[in-house]
Amino acid sequence: MGNTKPNILLIYTGGTIGMVKDFKTGALRAFDFKNLLKRIPELNLLDCNIDTVSFKEPIDSSNMNPKYWIQIAELIEKNYGNNDGFVVLHGSDTMSYTASALSFMLENLAKPVVFTGSQLPIGDLRTDAKENLITAVQVASLQYRKKPAIKEVCLYFEYKLYRANRTTKINAEHFEAFASLNYPDLAESGVHLKVNKEYLFKPNLKKKLVVHKNLDKNIALIKLFPGISETVLQSVFNTPNLKGVILETYGAGNCTTETWFINLLKTAIKKGIHIINVTQCSGGSVIMGHYETSNQLKKIGVISGKDITTEAAIPKLMYLLGENISGKAFKISYETDLRGEIS
């Protein structure tokens, strides 16, 4: 009988998990991948075959950008046929953005892509890296009837598996660094790995993987605050080639009703700039028209982000702009649940 263990590809992009302290400055910087693997001999005990590939120069995820998202997508595309699952090691700072981006880029994904990292480097005595990495590989290897159990991009951190495009980094110190406030956990790791099957994404298995690499970066993110300046906003909306704006509003999608503000948005929409309403709250949803302070937005054609996270709203906007969809269809597509990112 041949080897029937699942094949897992481990992709190392950088992050604290593989960092070491710089002798002179004491600051943490990315280290090489081989060192990381040496520190976790337990990986050899797992019931799967692990292959590894590393970014040539691992990065702190604060330097992450769509150019690297495409690199990760291409690694998965190239190795899709020969592997049953993928684990991406990534810094936690921008992990939710990258993992959300990959969820949009990998259409009809039928295998697990599990992002993980750690708050402490692998060499640290109290590291959270080992548990995160080992369980992430286990999750990626999980099969039901010889087929991958999980068929979506997810994020594993501190005993919990989340749908990636629902996550937000909520803490810079706690091992429990992420939360998914608008969607239940996909799995929890205790004595047993308890998978909440009813919440898993169910892709159409008849369709083939399509990898989208055309991401349009001509977008802006504006977080409203009381006293926001008209001049500043005017300059943002007058940015050459601007195609889309994520507007982080208050509560259920509310904003100031001052005439200058509404007129500014109206003019931008007339120019063909897409404006998406996303709430500043970590949990809950935009409901335009619920209050008088969001009625105007609805009337002038602002798109509802519903309960999407900002981390998912940004790559969704880049992805849909890259698809060159025309005005009305763009609004419909953005308000549609594409990868389980909205309820």
* Residue 91 binding ligand ASP, by CB under 6 A: yes
* Residue 127 binding ligand ASP, by CB under 6 A: no
* Residue 93 binding ligand ASP, by CB under 6 A: yes
Q: Which of residues 95-114 bind ligand ASP (CB under 6 A)?
A: none
Q: What is d(CA 303, CA 342) in angstroms, rounded to the nearest whole number?
A: 13
What is the residue whose two structure tokens read 């810079």? Answer: 172
Among 35, 62, 282, 336, which residue sits at the site for ligand ASP (rule: CB under 6 A)? 62
Q: Which is nearer to ligand ASP, 179 or 297 (CB)?
A: 179
- Which range, of 89-97, 98-106, 139-147, 320-328, touches ligand ASP by CB under 6 A? 89-97
State the minimum distance, in angstroms, from the CB of residue 28 to ligand ASP: 7
* Residue 54 binding ligand ASP, by CB under 6 A: no
Site string for ligand ASP, 219-258 (x = CB under 6 A): ----------------------------------------
Among 58, 117, 148, 244, which residue sits at the site for ligand ASP (rule: CB under 6 A)? 117
Q: What is d(CA 257, CA 61) in angstroms, rounded to the nearest whole number?
A: 38
State the minimum distance, in angstroms, from the CB of residue 323 to ligand ASP: 29
By beta carbon distance, the residue nearest ligand ASP is 91
From the candidates 4, 13, 16, 116, give the one annotated as an active-site residue: 16
Give the chain's end-to-end CA distance (angstroms, integer): 45
Cβ pair 69, 38 in contact under 8 A: no
Q: What is d(CA 138, CA 128) in angstroms, rounded to the nearest whole number?
A: 16
- Which range, of 11-19, 100-108, 310-318, 323-331, touches ligand ASP by CB under 6 A? 11-19
Pairing of strands 160-163, 7-14: unpaired
Q: Which is nearer to ligand ASP, 151 or 160 (CB)?
A: 160
Q: Which of residues 278-317 bind ligand ASP (CB under 6 A)?
A: none
* Residue 121 binding ligand ASP, by CB under 6 A: no
Q: Which is nearer to ligand ASP, 128 or 185 (CB)?
A: 128
* Residue 92 binding ligand ASP, by CB under 6 A: yes
Q: What is the crossing angle of helices 259-270 and 292-300, to 10°?
A: 20
Residue 290 CB-half CA count within 13 A: 12
Cβ pair 103, 95 in contact under 8 A: no
- What is the distance of C-alpha 239 from the center of its chain? 26
- Which range, of 65-73, 88-96, 267-275, 330-338, touches ligand ASP by CB under 6 A? 88-96
State the minimum distance, in angstroms, from the CB of residue 301 to ligand ASP: 37
135 is catalytic: no
Among 6, 15, 112, 244, which residue sits at the site for ligand ASP (rule: CB under 6 A)? 15
Q: Which residues bind ligand ASP (CB under 6 A)?
A: 14-16, 60-62, 91-93, 117, 119
Catalytic residues: 16
